Amino acid sequence: MLVLGIETSCDETAAALVADGVTVRANVIGSQVEQHRPFGGVVPEIAARAHLELLLPVLDRTLVEGGATYDDIEGVAVTVGPGLIGALLVGVAAAKSLALAQDVPLIGVNHLEGHVFAAQLEYGLLEPPVVALVVSGGHTSLVLLDVDGGFTTLGATIDDAAGEAYDKIARFLGLDYPGGPEIDRLAQHGDPEAIAFPRALLRRDDYDFSLSGLKTAVVRELRRRQGAGQEISVPDVAASFQEAIVDVQVHKTLAAAREHGVEQVAVVGGVAANSRLRARMAEACEQARVRLLAPSPGLCTDNGAMIAAAGWNRLVAGERSPLDVAADPGLAFSGPRG
C-alpha cells in the first residue's frame, strides 16, 4: 500500500511517499528555517503562511521524486496534532481534499507517534514492546509502545522540551538558530567535564524530566565567570551542558526499559540527531544488551515519511479517520488501538 504522508505541525512543510510502511519512495522537506531565523525561534503565524506557500510545490516534488501520480496513492496520512494550530490546519485541509478527490482512506496521525515510527523506515516493521525516548523542539517524553500497539507515556518534561533548552542556550551563547546542531558541533571540541551542571531529577525514580534549572545554571555560571573576568570557553560550556542533558536521558531511558522488561529502545525526534546522545545511548544499550533503534538524523527531524509509516500501521489495522477529523494542537498519546 502506497501512503502519502503530510507533516505541517511546526516549521517543516513535509510530504513523503512510503510503500508498505517501510520503503521510502520520496521524502521532501520544504524548510522554513530562513523565515524564522531572524526571530531565533518558530513564529506560529509565519509558519502557517509558509506552509500555505510551500505545501503544493512540496507535494508536486514528492510525486516526481517518487515516480508516482496522485492516482497511485492508496492512503493519505496527516499529522493532526500536537503542534501549532494554524500550521496543522494547512496539512489537514490538504490531506482531506486529496483523500476525498482520490477516494482513498484518510488517517490522522499523532506527531509523536510519527517520530517513533521513523524507526520502522530503517529497521523494518517495529515489533513491540519498545521503550522510546521522544526528544524534539516541542517534546520530551519517554513512552512505551505496547504489544497491542498502544502507547503509554511513562514520563515527560515538567518544563522545557530538550530541543527548546538547546535552542535557548545556543541563543544565549550567540550561536545560530536552530541551536541544537550548533551546540552538538561545538561540543565536539569541548570538555564535557569542564563545568558540573546539575542533572535534574536524575535520582528520582520516575521518568519525568526538568530542564529549566539547567538552563538557569548555565546562564548563572556564564554571568559569574564574566563578572570575575574569567575567560569562557564556549565549546566547554556546550559540551558540559550537553552532557548534563544526555546523562539524564540515557539513565532514564534504560531504567524504563529495565523496569518494563523491554529489550528494544528507540531514540527519536529532532534532538535524537545529537551525536553525543547517540554515542552514549549506543554504549549503554550495548552494556544492557538492549537493541537500539536510532534512525539516521534525517529521519529524526520532522518529515513526512514518519507520518506515512505510522499512518500505514493504522490503515492496515483497519482504522480510518472521518473527513471532518479535527486538528488538535494539544493531542495526547493515544491508548491501545481500536
**270 near ligand KG4, judged by CB under 6 A:** yes
CB of 220 to ligand KG4, least distance (A): 22
Using the rule CB under 6 A, which residue among 50, 130, 273, 327 binds ligand KG4?
273
The secondary element (H helix, E strand) that includes residue 17 is strand 12-19
Selected range binding ligand KG4 among 49-57, 144-152, 174-182, 318-326, rule: CB under 6 A = 174-182
Binding flag, residue 108, ligand KG4 (CB under 6 A): no
Residue 336 backbone dihedrals phi, psi, to 5 degrees: -55, 150
CA angle (84 as vertex; 81, 89 as ends), nearest 5: 70
Q: How many helices (H) and strands (E) does the chain have?
A: 12, 10
Query: Please, is 156 exposed, middle or buried when counting C-beta atoms within 10 Å of its C-beta (0-12, 13-18, 19+)?
Result: middle
Residue 333: HSE in the Cβ half-sphere, 13 Å Cα cutoff: 25
Instruction: Verify binding: residue 136, ligand KG4, rule CB under 6 A.
Output: yes
Query: In the numeric block, which cell numbers belong to residue 255?
Result: 531504567
Nearer to ligand KG4, 14 or 63 (CB): 14
| Residue with smaller CB distance to ligand KG4, 198 or 297 | 297
Interface of this chain with ligand KG4, residues 5 to 34, rule: CB under 6 A: 10
Could you tell me the three cell numbers for 199?
542533572
Q: Is 318 left (phi over 0), alpha (psi -120 to 50) or beta?
A: left
- Indicate which single residue of 166, 207, 241, 312 sits in contact with ligand KG4 (rule: CB under 6 A): 166
Query: Residue 301 interacts with ligand KG4 (CB under 6 A)?
Result: yes
Contact residues toward Zn ion (CB under 5 A) are: 136, 302
Binding residues (CB under 6 A) for ligand KG4: these are: 10, 136-138, 163, 166-167, 178-181, 184, 269-271, 273-274, 301-302
